Amino acid sequence: MATLHMASKQISVGIGIPMIVVGAILAVLLAPTQIDIKETIEFVGSLIGILGVVIFISGLFAKKTEEITT
């Protein structure tokens, strides 16, 4: 019997979306306030946002798998 495991969608929503939000906050709101390390904060914020998008998209591809019964 094949069942659809929802863990990947929960990870997508629970981790992917918050990472996108935090990355955007870092890159857009915090970076302009720090003159000396502005480029570094923008880079880290963008990297977090991009990883969040990757996790979100990969979480959308849930597969049907067979239950393992022993």
Which band of pLDDT confidence, cut at 50, 70 and 90, is reported for residue 22?
A: very high
Rounded mean pLDDT of the chain?
82
Residue 52, pLDDT score: 92
Predicted model pTM:
0.72
Q: Is the pLDDT of residue 31 over 60?
A: yes
- pLDDT at residue number 1: 46
Q: What is the CA radius of gyration of the chain?
A: 17
List helix spans (H) across 1-70: 7-11, 17-24, 38-60
